[in-house]
Amino acid sequence: MSVRILALVGSLRAGSHNRQLAEAAVGLAPEGAEVQVYEGLADIPFYNEDLDVEGQVPAAAARLREVAGSADAFLLFSPEYNGTIPAVLKNAIDWLSRPFGAGAFGGKPVAVIGTAFGQYGGVWAQDETRKAVGIAGGKVLDDVKLSIPSSVTRFAETHPADDAEVAGQLSEVVARLHGHAAETVAA
């Protein structure tokens, strides 16, 4: 049985280095793991309890919940926007935190990583993401971290998958997440 890891990327930009990291994670998944990069976060309306009515949930949000519900673990990629989590990623977490007590994160392992232009690689945003997803019910793996600084210069001419140091670190993150997920699935 393959462990399904759903990757959510907090950047919508076509040339996003976080998206490139997510794509690299797909290729670095160990045997027995499948990483799927979710497409469509831009289509999900901002969370509004008035929209979150059984049988009337917007199609884009319902699709996210359906895909996330079948995931065994989550790998969240967060850049840093003005010192915090991007709205699109926070919105996905909000939709997946509901219905209250039965959200898609429900005790599943979650790792949060990413890259940003600044010298700290987006750690503030990643910490805020860990906080939000933990409150939303995810089992945050606080010891599985990867924050890559200076993304604009580091990846100016090199895809993250072609950076040996980054590929090695990313491979370790995916392997550790897979291990936690496999334990959870087996329990």
Q: How does DSSP assign 92-126, residue by residue?
A: HHHHHT-STT--TTTT-EEEEEEE-SSTTTTHHHH
- Amino acid at the residue 148: I
Look at residue 3 and tell me whether its pLDDT is greater than 70: yes
Q: Write down the pTM of the prediction.
A: 0.96
Which pair of structure tokens corresponds to residue 70? 């079948």
Task: Report the pLDDT averaged over residues 13-36.
Answer: 96
> 76-110 pLDDT, tens per residue?
999 999 999 999 999 999 999 999 888 999 999 99
- For residue 53, the domain's CATH number is 3.40.50.360
User: Would 17 be classed as within a structural domain?
Assistant: no
Tokens representing residue 153 in the block: 């210069």
Query: What local confidence, expressed as pLDDT, does residue 78 receive?
Result: 97
Q: What is the domain extent for residue 118?
A: 31-186
Tokens of 117: 């232009």
Burial class (CB in 10 A: 0-12, 13-18, 19+), 152: exposed
10 inside domain: no
- Locus of tokens 């690689």: 121
Paired strand residues for 172: none
CA 45 to chain centre: 18
